[in-house]
């Protein structure tokens, strides 16, 4: 069978940096691996690269038997639009939807134009589905999949996504465009699922489990060695958990003389547990660690279940920087802040001096306890998918008007993104062309904030 895999374009009006900073579509690369193993022909259309691509033209030329579409929360409208285009072109083409949004809320895609929705992906359920589509298996419940033929009813247990080595060949024509925070071309590698930290605001451990499922590090290094990209983003929730695994990682890189630059997520506790290893990781290419600081006061860190203190945040920053590793810090903007709290955050950032800083308003994801806590204060319902983008303010502020709150967020964005320390780091480490893209992208981001402040700056009803 011929399968066309599609990553949708991004809505330009939403508050997200994904309009100008995005990596390879790892999930559909993994799907491609299995489809090819089963003997199917696969073509990928990445609409984040081909922004003006015609779906109809691809359907006309490639003539797929099946179209698979990946999704994030903000993609729902565009996914359904693509499914509609496909069915109007040829109603016999099978349409399947997967991705993060399908995992979280499969009912987002229970549509007459969608035949199957993947809540989880494994080799087995992909094989079962393809047999059903080919007519060699009768329509019946498949673990992890909702079927329109069965009225999208599936009451069985759902498994976690299976680890599958991604098919980098299917994205070959796009790979030079993929980047992460301006580092380009950049590949993405995942070495483990799950997270031990269980932060109250985070949904990843809910989706992947609260214990680690790790892939053998030699298999990971095999993948890295085969990559052409000089930069690699390791997208585990926390790559720095196990010391023995990190030592093996360094040993293999040194033995094979692999020279690449790596970015990864790490927790405060993981760094504190093994400070002496950080210099060796830096020598082997770890150039930046993303640390979720989240707050400037310890009481809020307890609320988030961060299991770290503000002093430990500062200590970790120094450990990384003294080891030659940049610290990219992230913060959460709380809806109960006053103007003075924004000032306190800026003072804390000046004390920490991380190389890069990101922030987002608190997102009460419906799969976390925060949703019940803030449901009566939501500005947008959870079905207003475009707004759940980690950029828009979702919760009515309690101590200032929404307009005044957005003004503080806008001021914070200006100071954070153009502070002298981060600008100097960006100029030194990121190519000028990509730095310009980032500046233009943040300009659009500011435009959305201004629009929100002026148009959506209404009082809570």
pLDDT tens sequence across 323-347:
999 999 999 999 999 999 999 999 9
pLDDT at position 20, please? 55
Mean pLDDT throughout 413-436? Answer: 84
In the chain the domains, ranked by start, together with CATH numbers, are 2-150 (3.40.50.2300), 178-457 (3.80.30.20)
Percentage of residues of the chain with pLDDT beyond 90: 71
| Backbone φ, ψ for residue 399 (5° rounding) | -120, 5
Could you tell me what percent of the chain has a pLDDT over 70? 93
Predicted model pTM:
0.93
- Please check the confidence at residue 118 and state whether its pLDDT lies above 90: yes
pLDDT tier, 460 (very low <50, low <70, confident <90, very high otherwise) = low
- What mean pLDDT value characterizes the chain? 91
DSSP state of 13: T
How high is the pLDDT of residue 442? Answer: 65
Q: Look-up: residue for tokens 């489809």?
A: 35
Q: Evaluate if residue 14 carries a pLDDT over 80.
A: no
pLDDT: which is higher, 169 or 208: 169
Q: Which of 9-18, 24-33, 274-283, 394-403 has the lowest mean pLDDT?
A: 9-18
CB 317 within 8 A of CB 352: yes
- Helix pair angle (55-62, 76-89), 10° resolution: 40
Which stretch, 15-24, 143-152, 153-162, 382-391, has highest mean pLDDT?
143-152
Task: Quote the CA–CA distance of 272 and 276 in Å, as a whole number.
Answer: 9
| pLDDT of res. 385 | 85
Handedness of CA 410, 310, 371, 267 (dihedral sign): positive
Note the pLDDT of residue 287: 98
The whole-number pLDDT of residue 113 equals 97
Q: What is the pLDDT of residue 456?
A: 58
Q: Which residue has the higher pLDDT, 275 or 206?
A: 275
pLDDT of the residue at 445 = 67
> Is the distance from CB of 15 to CB of 448 less than 8 angstroms?
yes
Decide: helix, strand or coil at residue 422: helix
Write the CB contacts of 200 (distance below 8 Å, at least 6 apart in sequence): 303, 304, 305, 368, 369, 370
**C-alpha torsion angle, residues 266, 270, 274, 278 (rounded to 10):** 0
417-444: average pLDDT: 78
Residue whose entry in the numeric block shows the structure tokens 């994801």? 365
Is the per-residue pLDDT at 443 higher than 70? no
Residue-level pLDDT at 156: 72
Closest CA to 83 of 133, 117, 34: 117
For the beta sheet containing 231-234, the strands, ordered from the edge strand earlier in sequence to the opposite edge, are 186-189, 231-234, 261-266, 286-294, 326-333, 356-361
**Pair of tokens at residue 451:** 């629009």
Q: Categorize the per-residue pLDDT at 436 as very low, low, confident or very high, splitting at 50, 70 and 90.
A: confident
pLDDT in tens, 375-402: 999 999 988 888 888 778 999 999 999 9
Tell me: pLDDT of 227 over 70: yes
**What confidence tier does 76 reach under pLDDT thresholds 50, 70, 90?**
very high
Please give the residue that has the higher pLDDT: either 460 or 291.
291
| Reported confidence tier of residue 10, pLDDT bands at 50, 70, 90 | confident
pLDDT above 70 for 243: yes
The residue-averaged pLDDT of 311-332 equals: 97
What's the rounded Cα separation, in Å, for the pair 382 and 372? 12
Structure tokens at 406: 């957005």
Residue of 30, 99, 31 lying closest to 385 (CA atoms): 99
- Predicted pLDDT of residue 197: 82
pLDDT of residue 34: 97
């Amino acid at each position: 069978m011929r399968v066309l895999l599609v990553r949708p374009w991004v809505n330009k009006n939403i508050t997200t940096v994904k309009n100008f900073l995005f990596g390879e579509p790892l999930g559909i690369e993994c799907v491609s691996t299995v489809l090819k193993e089963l003997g199917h022909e696969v073509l990928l259309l990445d609409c984040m690269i081909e922004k003006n691509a015609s779906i109809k033209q691809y359907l006309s030329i490639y003539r797929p038997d099946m179209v698979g579409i990946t999704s994030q929360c903000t993609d729902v409208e565009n996914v359904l639009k693509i499914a509609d285009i496909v069915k109007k072109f040829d109603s016999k083409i099978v349409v399947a939807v997967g991705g993060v949004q399908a995992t979280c809320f499969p009912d987002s895609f229970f549509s007459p134009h969608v035949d199957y929705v993947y809540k989880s992906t494994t080799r087995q359920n992909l094989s079962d589905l393809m047999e059903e589509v080919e007519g060699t298996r009768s329509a019946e419940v498949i673990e992890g999949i909702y079927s329109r033929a069965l009225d999208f009813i599936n009451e069985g247990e759902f498994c976690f996504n299976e680890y599958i080595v991604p098919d980098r060949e299917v994205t070959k024509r796009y790979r030079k465009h993929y980047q992460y925070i301006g580092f380009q071309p950049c590949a993405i590698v995942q070495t483990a699922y799950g997270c031990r930290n269980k932060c109250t605001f985070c949904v990843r451990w809910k989706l992947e489990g609260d214990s680690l499922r790790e892939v053998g590090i030699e298999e990971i290094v095999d993948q890295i060695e085969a990559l052409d990209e000089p930069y690699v983003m390791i997208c585990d929730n926390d790559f720095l958990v196990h010391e023995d695994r990190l030592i093996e990682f360094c040993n293999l890189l040194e033995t094979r003389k692999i020279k690449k630059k790596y970015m990864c997520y790490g927790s405060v506790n993981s760094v504190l547990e093994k400070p002496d290893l950080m210099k060796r990781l830096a020598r082997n290419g770890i150039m930046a660690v993303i640390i979720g600081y989240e707050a400037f006061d310890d009481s809020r860190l307890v609320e988030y279940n961060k299991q770290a203190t503000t002093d430990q945040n500062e200590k970790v920053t120094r450990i990384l920087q003294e080891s030659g590793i940049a610290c990219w810090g992230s913060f959460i903007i709380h809806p109960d802040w006053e103007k003075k709290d924004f000032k306190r955050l800026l003072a804390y950032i000046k004390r920490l001096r991380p190389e890069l800083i990101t922030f987002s308003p608190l997102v009460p994801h419906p799969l976390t306890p925060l949703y019940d806590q803030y449901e009566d204060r939501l500005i947008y319902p959870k079905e207003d998918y475009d707004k759940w983008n980690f950029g828009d303010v979702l919760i009515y502020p309690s101590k200032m008007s929404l307009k005044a709150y957005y003004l503080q967020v806008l001021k914070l964005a200006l100071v954070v993104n153009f502070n002298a320390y981060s600008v100097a780091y960006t100029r030194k480490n990121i190519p000028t062309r990509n730095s310009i893209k980032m500046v233009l992208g943040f300009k659009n981001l500011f435009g959305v904030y201004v629009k929100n402040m002026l148009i959506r700056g209404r009082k809570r009803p």
